[in-house]
Amino acid sequence: MYKRQPIPIAPEIVREHPTEYGFATHVFVNPEEGNNMTVDMFKQNIDLLASKGQKWIRFNIWGSETASKTDTGYALNEENLAKYDEVIDYARSRGLDINLIGNTPEVLEDVPHEQYVEFTREYFTSLAARYKGKIAVWQLFNE
């Protein structure tokens, strides 16, 4: 199976574009979950973007990395959420506002409607409490 290799942003690309804009990207806290940027690559790109005057960054918080099924329902993955805490805090420390995209975790694909509604409420409420005051724009259910 072909996997695309992640490539950090090339400095020449950033130089060619106006800096009053932000940047949309992806980060995976567990590289085996996907083929985009690792936390370290994400931080390198944050440094480059901030040095060129970018104002914001837009990225996903992946449900497949932040929640999983259990015998009694679901559980948040605190270890992975701590990695998202790290990248959010890092981007903020470099002066970037964050546009965070959140989708309902895949653990809800085959659950009854009532359980879906309850889990969705609890999931997004927990994210909102965790990142209160840190996220400039929340975008739920991208596509």
Q: What are phi and psi of 109, to 5 degrees?
A: -60, -35
Q: How confident is the model at residue 88 (pLDDT cuts 50, 70, 90)?
A: very high
Looking at every residue in the chain, the average pLDDT score rounds to 80
pLDDT in tens, 108-119: 777 888 888 888
Predicted confidence at residue 125, as pLDDT, reads 94
Amino acid at 27: V
Structure-block tokens of residue 13: 């690309």
Tokens 């724009």 found at:
137
Tokens 């901030």 found at:
50
Predicted confidence at residue 68, as pLDDT, reads 85
Give the separation between CA 135 and CA 88, rounded to whole angstroms: 8
Quick one: which of 76, 57, 90 has its CA closest to 130?
A: 76
The string over 16-27, giving b where at least 16 C-beta atoms fall within 10 Å of a residue's C-beta and e elsewhere, is: eeeeeebbebeb
Q: How confident is the model at residue 4 (pLDDT cuts 50, 70, 90)?
A: very low
pLDDT in tens, 7-65: 555 555 555 544 456 667 777 777 665 556 788 888 988 998 888 888 888 888 888 88
Q: What are phi and psi of 70, to 5 degrees?
A: -130, 180
pLDDT at 132 over 60: yes
Write down the pTM of the prediction. 0.79
